[in-house]
Amino acid sequence: MQIASPSKSAEQQSLIPLLNVHESEVDRQMHICNACRYCEGFCAVFPAMTRRLDFAKADIHYLANLCHNCGACLHACQYAAPHEFVVNVPQAMAKVRLNTYVEYAWPGKLGTLYERNGLTLSLALAGSLALFLLLTLLVKGTLFPGPLAGNFYAIFPHNTLALMFGAAFGFAILALAIGVTRFWRAISPADAQALASGAAVAEASGAVLKLKYLDGGHGEGCNNESDRFTLWRRRFHHFTFYGFMLCLASTSVATLYHYLLGLQAPYPLLSLPVVLGTLGGIGLLIGPAGLLWLNYRRDPEHGDRAQAPMDRGFIVLLLLISLTGLALLAWRDTGAMALLLAIHLGMVMAFFLTMPYGKFAHGIFRSAALLKYAIEKRQPDTLRLGND
């Protein structure tokens, strides 16, 4: 369903991309919020909103990805249900965010995978890949080779793993980079793109690294299953984010060891790659487990219930990667190493293959929206409707 903004003339409407039903709902609610502005101090969405009188498709996509879905504005809103205006900004923004992932995806035809990338698909893909690797080892007679002193490359050659996983990870990064570039070009005119000063980049980076807008705007945290504030969503996000970054650092250091220093795996338990990977694995155990618990307890009015399978699929894959990775580390010197390695690699490959078309994208798009906000707030506010 395509709906044009009623505030535009017919000639203007012919030049402006039409809004779909979810975008039109955000447009309606933002006009109400712009008249009220009670929630202006909650997060970046509302100050950004006050710089606009009308909301084109690009504005709506920008604001939707700027929203961190903390739920604070819903519980503070005097126009939320049962009021006849039925304002629910977190839910409306969540539905548009999914639209943006689909619209800007690369290759475009794969954008529909966002709508199908649920828990069942994630588990089925991970299980299928793990089973394939297990059957490969069984056919080769190396499924139970006996203790190999943690030498993974005796099971799968290094170059084979590097080619397989390097190609999958490289494609995922390329697809995400092209998708977010398309998004950035749509929400930022060319003249605004050139204004990304060092201060703006630093502010946006700080907001990303600290998860600034998961504090509810008052430092007490988000709302989850009720109007009670909690900081646990922010904390579990931190465990997840930094756990992932530590695992990435572990892989990067191991790559430098192998190619630059000529040091071959397996590495000692107290070596830098193993320590980084262990800490990252613990972070990816605590963070996703906590986020999954919060997800199941969350009030459905705080988001788009249709996206719950995609959210949970992403969280469960991270959790399985951590569990199988730590198990592999614990039993790498035993005869079960090949079995555990195949299962772990199946989980990792499934994550890489779903990464460009799943929940992982929300962090990339949100970072771009935060950068635009940091740039925009440094520009003159000609409307002067808010308190930037």
pLDDT tens per residue, range 323-380: 999 999 999 999 899 999 999 999 999 999 999 998 999 999 999 999 999 999 888 8
* Amino acid 219: pLDDT: 82
Those residues of the chain that have pLDDT short of 70 are: 1-16, 190-196, 384-388
At which residue do the structure tokens 């939707």 appear?
A: 64
Domain limits for position 312: 109-359
Same domain, yes or no: 174 and 276: yes
What pLDDT score does 386 carry? Answer: 54
- Token readout for 63 is 């604001």
Last residue of a domain, one of 105, 120, 145: 105
Q: Are residues 100 and 113 in the same domain?
A: no
Q: In this predicted structure, what is the pLDDT of residue 378? A: 86
Please provide the DSSP assignment of 59-120 as one string. Answer: HHHHHHHH-----HHHHH-TTSTTSTT---HHHHHHHHHHHHHHHH-SSGGGGGGGGT--HH
Neighbour tally for 322: CB within 10 Å: 26
The pLDDT assigned to 4 comes to 45
- C-alpha–C-alpha distance, residues 388 and 385, integer Å: 9
* Residue 7 three-state SS: coil
88 close to 81: Cβ distance less than 8 angstroms:
yes
d(CA 178, CA 312): 25
The per-residue pLDDT for 6 is 47
Q: Are residues 169 and 184 in the same domain?
A: yes
* pLDDT 10s digits, 72-128: 899 999 999 999 999 999 999 999 999 999 999 999 888 888 877 788 888 899 999
Cα separation, 353 vs 49, in Å, equals 36
Whole-number pLDDT of residue 382: 75
Q: How many domains does the chain contain in total?
A: 2
Would the CA dihedral through 156, 160, 164, 170 be positive or negative?
Answer: positive
> CA distances (Å), 265 to each of 54, 256, 379, in order?
58, 12, 52
Tell me how long the chain is.
388
Query: Are 128 and 231 within one domain?
Result: yes
For helices 158-187 and 361-376, angle between their N-to-C axes, nearest 10 degrees? 40
Do 151 and 244 have their domain in common?
yes
* Domain shared by 89 and 137, yes or no: no
Q: What is the pLDDT of residue 273?
A: 95
| Shared domain check, 344 and 300 | yes
Confidence at residue 195, expressed as pLDDT on a 0 to 100 scale: 63
Q: How many CB atoms lie within 10 A of CB 340?
A: 18
What pLDDT shows up at residue 365? 96
